[in-house]
Each structure stands twice: as structure tokens, then as C-alpha cells.
Amino acid sequence: MNRAVIASAAAALIATAGIGFVAGVQRPPVRAIAVATTVAAEGNLPPIYFEDPDGKPAYSLTPRKTGDGRDYRAVPAGADISFDEASPEAPMSASAPGGASERKIKYYRNPMGLPDTSPVPKKDSMGMDYIPVFEGEDTDDGSVNLSPGKIQRTGVKSEPAAKRVIHTIIRAPGTIQLDERRVSVISMRSESFVLKVANVTTGSHVVKGQPLMEVYSPAVSSAAAEYLATISSKTTGGDGLYGRGSRQRLMNLDVPEPAIAAIEKSRNVPTSIEWTAPRDGIVLERNAIEGMRAQPGGVLFRIADHSVVWALIDVAERDLGAISIGQPATVEARSFPGREFSGKIEVIYPEINKETRTARIRVELPNPDLLLLHDMYVDAEIDTGTAEPVLAVPESAVMDTGSRQAVLVDKGQGRFEPRDVKLGHRGAGYVEIRDGVAEGEPVVVAANFLIDAESNLKAALKGFSDAGEKP
């Protein structure tokens, strides 16, 4: 019978019982009380504590009486106190029954878990025996050994490392901008006068060929007259090349094609030319006013096609390495919660905003319902994962100190080995393991920090014991 283990367990039982007596908790498990009060036939041994004769959670280190004058029952040092299931692989004595084998005691450690060891048996200040540590229980390979009872109480769980497809989502804000390739400006290439403006205002939706205004331009009228003259001479045997040059002059003045066709059909020089919309879109700017004089280059209308827009997303600098052209992105406008717009990354702009430390990327989005408007705020989700499976473990398995990442590999039979690892992508509760663990090796995914604390305690005790052995 190992008296050191008995004494430490008895003290723990007294402390637990004292707390329960004060707090009014229920009686400890029946098995612990029954085993604690069973006296082994080992002779008259001195008592190590006294308990209530009725089995109530009341204990004392000195003799004591109940309220009705009865003595507390003495619990001798030979009582069989145990809170863990007995294991045949871990005998309590230094020698196995029958003298089959004998384990050597390496040192004795403090029964309260303090970093204090002794090469010989001793007692602490409370009179508790130091607990022996046998050879084989304190390994030098950095692994941690836990009893089955401790593994069950701490809730240790393991899961094998396996290949999984990890989807890492990057979330970033952005704004909607116009596709600069889908914006048209209507301006005159010669001095002109606006005679009439159609019922079109800023924000109106127009279609290609829709009339916008009527303009009189002396240069256009002169070119039209010249073109009609060349057409007439061609019918009478004139030079056709000169006629084509006259038509080109009308085109250089940006006269719409329907207006040129009308001149050819009517054979009359028009007093005004009808200007039409060059594309479907929204009128962003309307500067044309009836009766105004339009100078060459002056913007009269600006029309933008909203059927396809850009989402300019500001991605944090730390996430830029995971972004590449062609990755899918989902955009949700704050004005339309629940409505998603899908696209792909088209451009990564080659600059970093020095104030916000963000990089800008461009996602092209179809906008068939014209819901996405210029300068609208959006939230984007970018899937940076790959379709190829990678070796991964749950994120809870990784113990990250900032400069070091490690996992605990379950070697079986209560033995756990800490292993440094190199991490990769994270996502969906898993993290990629690039080095340190092989596929199929079980790693601890729950209570690993408790095992780490146990290993730190054993390392500290081992350091004290090694220091004690040195002269």
C-alpha cells in the first residue's frame, strides 16, 4: 500500500469535504466514502483524519465530537483511498506482486503539485508524504503521459488529420462604379446651335437611336450640300471618289448615320440635324438647353450603360497575397439585403492606399435589373480557397503562441507528443497543415491546453529534480 498516495488523496478528500460542508453541497460519491472508511487488515495504524460517524460531509484533522456527544470515526493511514480506477499496468508499489518485477523510484515530488522534489522520502509542512515518481513515468522525449481516468475527466478528444477542401472567405467593403468602357459623351465637333431638346432629363433611361435634340450647324449644312452635289454628279458620270470623301466629311462631324441616310433619301439639305442616343443607358448629365450655342467639344449629354457595372473592393493589405485574378466574388448591396450579385475578379490595382493600408480590386458584375447604382456601398465575399484538398486539422487542435504553432499527437495509451507544425490557409473551422503531421495521425482537438499545462508542470518538476541530483 502506497502511503504517499493515500495521504495525498486523503488530504484532497478532506479539502473537498470541507468545501462541501461550508457550501452545503451534497455528500461525495458513495464509492469514495465507502472505500475511504474501509479499514484494511494491516495492523493498528495511526489515524490520518476523522470523519462524521453518520457519513455526513464533515471531517477533522483532530479528534472531534458530534453535537450529541459522539466521537468522530478515525480513518487510519492504511485505508484504501482511491479516486481512479486501478490499472494493472501501473501498480501502486515499487515491487510487483510475487516479486516478478521491480520499478526504481527516481525521485519524490510535492503532494500538492508545487515545484519541489526530493531524492529521498520526506513530508511537507502539513505532514503529507511526498509522492514517488518511478522510472518510465518521466520520459525524456517530450511526450506527456496521462492516466485513463485523467483523460476521461478532462474531456480529451482526438481526430485524425485528413485532407479537406478549405474555403477561405475574405470579406471587404466596396463601392459600385460605372464601367468606363460603357460611357458615351455627346458633344458637337463644330460650332452649332441647339434648336430643340427632347423630353429627356438627368436620370432618364434612353435606348439606342432615341432622339435627344435637334441642332443647326453651318459646317454640317455645308458638308451636306457638298455631299448632295457629289451624289448628283455621280449619277451624271462624275467622280465617285470625291463623293465618298464628302460623305466622310459628314461622318467626321459626327453626324448620326440615320441623318446621313435621310439626306441621301430626300436629296435636300436639312436646316437641322436630329441627334440620337448612341447606346442604351441612363442619362448622367444633360447640359443641352434649347436655343443655346454649343461650342466644339462642349458636353451636351453623358450617357452610361448600367447593364454591367464594377465593384471596387478595398481589401486589407494582409489578405492581398491570397487574392488572384479570376477568383469568384459575391457582392451584396446594403440597399438590398439578401440579394447577391456574383462576379469574378478582373483587375488588382497596383497600388496600396497609404492611409488605410488597403489594396483595390475590381469585380465585374452583371446588373440586368439596374439595381446597382453608381457609388452604392456594397459588401463583398471573396472565396480564396482551391478545389484541391489539403491536409487539415480542426482549428482547436492548434496551440498558437504567436511565434510557434504546435499540435498534440495522440500516440495511444495515454501518451501525447507535442509537434511543431507549419500552417497554411484557414477556413470553415479547419486549418491547413503544411509540415509536422502526416495524414491519418490523430491530434488532440479538445482539452489540449490542459495537457499542455500538465507537460509544463512535469517539465518544471523534472528541472527541479535534475538540479537536485547535481552536486
User: Domain count of the chain?
Assistant: 4
Residue 432 carries which side chain, given as an amino acid letter?
Answer: E
Q: pLDDT-based confidence at 400, cuts 50/70/90?
A: confident
- Nine-digit cell string for 238: 462624275
Domain annotation covers residue 134: no
Starting from the edge strand earliest in sequence, which strands make up the sheet with 59-60, in order? 59-60, 47-51, 73-76
Does one domain contain both 149 and 265? no
28 with 41, same domain: the answer is yes
Distance, first Cα to last Cα, the chain = 33
Residue where a domain stops, chosen among 383, 411, 445: 383
Question: Which structural domain range is residue 100 located in?
Answer: 3-128
The verdict on 37 and 148 lying in the same domain is no
Give CA–CA dist 411/442, Å, rounded.
8
Task: Pick the closest to residue 75 from 93, 95, 52, 105 (CA basis).
Answer: 52
Q: Residue 119 CA to chain centroid, in angstroms?
A: 50
Nearest C-alpha neighbor of 95 from the set 1, 223, 231, 229? 1
Q: Is residue 136 part of a domain?
A: no
pLDDT at 107 over 50: yes
Residue 184 within any structural domain of the chain: no
Whether 460 maps to a domain, the answer reads yes
The angle subtended at Cα 379 by Cα 374 and Cα 380, nearest 5°, is: 105
CA–CA dist 371, 373 (Å, integer):
6
Note whether residue 138 is domain-resident. no
Same structural domain, 347 and 420? no
Same domain, yes or no, for 251 and 322? no
418 and 372 both lie in a single domain: no
Q: How does 237-271 read in b/e, with b if 16+ C-beta sit within 10 Å?
A: eeeeeebeebbebbeebebbeebbeebeeeeebbe
Alpha-carbon dihedral sign for residues 114, 119, 123, 129: positive
Are 357 and 439 contained in the same domain?
no
Between 145-149, 276-280, 290-294, the lowest mean confidence (pLDDT) is in 145-149
When pLDDT is cut at 50, 70 and 90, the band that residue 435 belongs to is: confident
Specify if 239 maps to a domain.
yes
Q: Would you say the pTM of this structure is higher than 0.75?
A: no
Q: Distance (Å, rounded) from C-alpha 11 to C-alpha 293?
A: 104
Q: What is the pLDDT of residue 146?
A: 64
Whole-angstrom CA distances from 402 to 322, 336, 398, 449, 459 are 20, 40, 11, 15, 21
Give, for 346, the enclosing helix (H) or strand (E): strand 340-353
Percent pLDDT > 70 in the chain is 72
What's the CA gap between 200 and 334, in Å, rounded?
30
pLDDT at 51 over 60: yes
Residue pair 315/172 in contact (Cβ under 8 Å)? The answer is yes
Do 346 and 425 share a domain, yes or no?
A: no
Task: Kindly state whether residues 363 and 258 are assigned to the same domain.
Answer: no
**Residue 90 CA neighbour count, 13 Å, CB half:** 18
Confidence of residue 243 (pLDDT cuts 50, 70, 90): low
Mean pLDDT score of the chain, rounded to an integer? 76
On whether residue 412 sits in a domain, the answer given is yes
CATH for 370: 2.40.30.170
Which CATH number belongs to the domain containing residue 442 in this structure?
2.40.420.20
Residue 327: inside a domain, yes or no?
A: yes
Looking at the structure, tell me whether residues 36 and 52 fall in a common domain. Answer: yes
My answer on whether 238 and 322 are in the same domain is no
Give CA separation, 159 vs 151, 206, 213, 398, in Å: 15, 62, 74, 12
Co-location of 364 and 408 in the same domain: no
Say whether pLDDT at 356 is over 50: yes
Q: Coil, strand, or helix at residue 68?
A: coil
The residue from 251, 268, 297 where one domain ends is 297
Mean pLDDT check: name the lowest of 181-190, 208-217, 253-262, 400-409: 400-409
